[in-house]
């Protein structure tokens, strides 16, 4: 994965000689290794504006049970966030962080642990039209709900979730969504929804730039995917074609993103830094040719 904000990129890098992972940042064209403690597994790291507006890191420290740590861009002045044991998928904006607790519960708090609250996370109930009884609507708790990624922007939090429904859509009825909610709680906004089973699509991201939310429709590389954008203020969408199978995606302006690619299909076990002949690559995308598009909530 790769995260970008304010001209800074951060990612977890594997050192084959040491057999350890480090957090690297790229700033002003220079790549440096941070003082974030190395780990035996990839380190989840996010970059965003801190309380002063300058870019900071939020990462997981997993020496025992994983917890969230906020630090300066070079890894100095680390501050463990209280109450984040077992955290995953960290994100930071200003004096606030958010993370996933367990598989599907989304949490947020200030850096000092104050104002901690539970947000909506993955949906607890979904309704769909029965595939066996015409015009019958079935409502049920989703099976195996999971929140795969988070991204804070101001008071808004974007998330990607997956779950399984017995709705007869796709190979196993698995669905993936993009949602937005505020850090103060309240109703969620469903932004995009698709079935995972068809063409192996799934959402990757999410990533904010200038108040607009972007996410990558990942495919197996043989069918057309897309880079999609959503403007919450205008309730409008844009889309651009894409074909690569990515492991990371983060917008840096309104037309380009940093992309992480694996040496092979991650679904076949290819993971960056784990005994692969070809390392993963982080690259700057070509400019996206965005055009207005329809709503991405297109499955009943």
The ranges assigned to domains in the chain are 1-119, 120-300
For 217, the enclosing helix (H) or strand (E) is strand 212-218
Rounded to an integer, what distance in angstroms lies between the CA atom of residue 221 and that of residue 274? 22
Name residues whose C-beta falls within 8 Å of residue 50's C-beta, 6 or more positions apart in sequence.
Answer: 56, 70, 92, 94, 95
pLDDT of the chain, 300 residues: tens digit per residue? 799 999 999 999 988 889 899 999 999 889 999 999 999 888 999 999 999 999 999 999 998 789 999 999 999 999 999 999 999 999 999 999 999 998 899 999 999 999 999 999 988 888 766 655 566 777 888 888 999 999 999 999 999 998 887 655 544 557 889 999 999 988 999 999 876 555 456 788 999 999 999 999 876 555 567 999 999 999 999 999 987 778 889 999 999 999 988 665 555 555 565 544 456 788 999 999 999 999 988 544
Beta-bridge partners for 206: none
Which DSSP category does 155 fall into?
T
Q: What is the CATH number of domain 1-119?
A: 2.120.10.30
């Amino acid at each position: 994965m790769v995260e970008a904000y304010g001209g800074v990129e951060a990612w977890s890098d594997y050192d084959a000689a040491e057999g350890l992972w480090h957090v690297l940042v790229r700033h002003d064209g220079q790549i440096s290794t941070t003082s974030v403690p190395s780990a035996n597994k990839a380190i989840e790291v996010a970059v965003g504006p801190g309380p002063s507006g300058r870019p900071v890191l939020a990462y997981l420290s997993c020496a025992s049970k994983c917890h969230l740590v906020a630090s300066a861009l070079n890894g100095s002045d680390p501050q463990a966030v209280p109450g984040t044991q077992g955290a995953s998928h960290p994100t930071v904006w200003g004096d606030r962080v958010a993370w996933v607790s367990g598989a599907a519960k989304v949490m947020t708090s200030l850096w000092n642990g104050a104002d901690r609250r539970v947000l909506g996370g993955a949906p607890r109930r979904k309704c769909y039209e029965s595939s066996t009884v015409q015009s019958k609507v079935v409502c049920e708790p989703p099976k195996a709900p999971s929140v795969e990624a988070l991204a804070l922007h101001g008071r808004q939090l974007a998330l990607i979730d997956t779950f399984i429904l017995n709705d007869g859509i796709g190979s196993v009825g698995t669905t993936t969504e993009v949602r937005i909610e505020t850090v103060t709680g309240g109703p969620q906004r469903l932004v995009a929804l698709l079935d995972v089973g068809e063409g192996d699509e799934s959402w990757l991201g999410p990533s904010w730039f200038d108040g607009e939310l972007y996410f990558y429709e990942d495919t197996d590389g043989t069918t057309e995917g897309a880079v999609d954008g959503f403007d919450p203020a205008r309730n409008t969408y844009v889309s651009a074609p894409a074909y690569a199978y990515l492991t990371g995606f983060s917008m840096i302006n309104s037309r380009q993103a940093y992309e992480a690619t694996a040496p092979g299909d991650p679904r076949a076990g290819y993971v960056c830094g784990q005994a692969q002949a070809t390392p993963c690559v982080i690259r700057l995308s070509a400019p996206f040719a965005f055009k207005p598009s329809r709503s991405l909530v297109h499955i009943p």
